[in-house]
């Protein structure tokens, strides 16, 4: 069984075929999906949980889990009401993670100090609810400032919780991967690992020990190379897993087993947590 550790199942791009899309994932061997609850802002943070509750228990579906969080560029919307909503969502059993949260210096949007403040306030809420975090970190091309600032924040406000988390859609170098592992984070690779130009990312992936990796789609975005530019969906996580398997000279089954074990360990779930 394979787990897609990051998919935006609440995207309106699935409104016409969400159930069939989830069935295709199950048929492809995807036993569980972590649905990311950021929506288009805090007003939609609950949609991922709603989707879990709508589909869990139906036969022929992957088991669904949810996260909730305020995306870096929505950090200005992290007012008292949004924080209370986040706290309440994180208290629900299906909501196993806080995210995706972090720092994004690549796109124009919220000012960097606002992003940092939004991140720190969510770390406090996640720590109190004992939920691991899902980090989005993206510097401008060729820079590492977002990573440097992120590690500063995590070392001061998160490390001591011992809860760890996931570096989602990892795009850093070995230095950032090593620091993440040292902080107890898993490194999650997405479809861009399969792109011909991603040789340096594949070299980093080769160095990450197998007990430190996850795979994800970041669907509906970032379809793997063979489907590039098309709508992505959890079924296609098999292609990223295949690439990661080749990088590590392992079978697809071994990568599936390792990533499932890693996911279960981080989120304190039983190994048979999928469908």
Binding stretches for Zn ion (CB under 5 A): 218
Q: How far apart are CA 174 and CA 169, in angstroms?
A: 14
φ and ψ of 63, to 5 deg: -70, 135
DSSP result, 192-250: GGGSTT-HHHHHHHHHS-GGGEEE---BTS---GGGTTSPP-GGGHHHHHHHHHHHTT-
Instruction: Using alpha carbons, select from 129, 144, 146, 153 the residue that is nearest to residue 174.
Output: 144
**In the complex, residue closest to Zn ion by CB:** 218
Residue closer to Zn ion by CB (options 26, 36) is: 36
| Cβ 136 to Zn ion shortest distance, Å | 6
| Cβ 271 to Zn ion shortest distance, Å | 25
| Cβ 36 to Zn ion shortest distance, Å | 5
| Cβ 157 to Zn ion shortest distance, Å | 22
Residue closer to Zn ion by CB (options 4, 218) is: 218
Q: What is the dihedral of CA 41, 45, 51, 52, to 10 degrees?
A: 150
Rg (CA), the chain: 17
Residue closer to Zn ion by CB (options 134, 181) is: 134
Residue 146 · residue 137 · CB < 8 Å: yes
φ and ψ of 161, to 5 deg: -75, -25
Residue closer to Zn ion by CB (options 72, 164) is: 72
| Cβ 122 to Zn ion shortest distance, Å | 15
- Kindly state the greatest CA–CA separation across the chain: 49
| Cβ 159 to Zn ion shortest distance, Å | 24
Residue closer to Zn ion by CB (options 86, 245) is: 86
Residue closer to Zn ion by CB (options 161, 216) is: 216
């Amino acid at each position: 069984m394979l787990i897609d550790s990051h998919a935006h199942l609440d995207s309106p791009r699935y409104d016409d075929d969400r159930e069939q899309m989830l069935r295709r994932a199950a048929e492809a061997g995807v036993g569980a999906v972590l649905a990311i609850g950021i929506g288009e802002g805090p007003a939609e943070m609950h949609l991922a949980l709603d989707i879990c509750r709508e589909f869990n228990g139906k036969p022929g579906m992957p088991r669904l889990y949810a996260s909730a969080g305020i995306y870096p560029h929505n950090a200005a919307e992290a007012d008292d009401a949004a924080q209370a909503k986040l706290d309440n969502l994180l208290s629900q059993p299906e909501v196993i993670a806080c995210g995706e949260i972090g720092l994004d210096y690549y796109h124009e949007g919220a000012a960097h100090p606002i992003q940092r403040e939004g991140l720190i306030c969510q770390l406090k809420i996640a720590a109190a609810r004992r939920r691991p975090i899902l980090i989005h970190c993206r510097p401008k091309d060729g820079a590492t400032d977002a990573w440097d600032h992120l590690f500063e924040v995590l070392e001061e406000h998160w490390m001591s919780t011992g809860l760890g988390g996931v570096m989602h859609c990892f795009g850093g170098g070995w230095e950032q991967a090593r620091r993440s592992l040292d902080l107890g984070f898993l490194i999650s690779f997405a479809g861009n690992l399969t792109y011909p130009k991603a040789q340096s990312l594949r070299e980093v992936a080769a160095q990450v020990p197998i007990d430190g990796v996850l795979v994800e789609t970041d669907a509906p975005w970032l379809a793997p190379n063979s489907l590039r530019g098309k709508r992505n969906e959890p079924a296609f996580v098999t292609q990223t897993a295949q690439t990661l398997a080749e990088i590590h000279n392992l079978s697809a089954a071994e990568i599936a087993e390792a990533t499932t074990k890693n996911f279960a360990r981080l989120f304190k779930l039983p190994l048979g947590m999928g469908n």
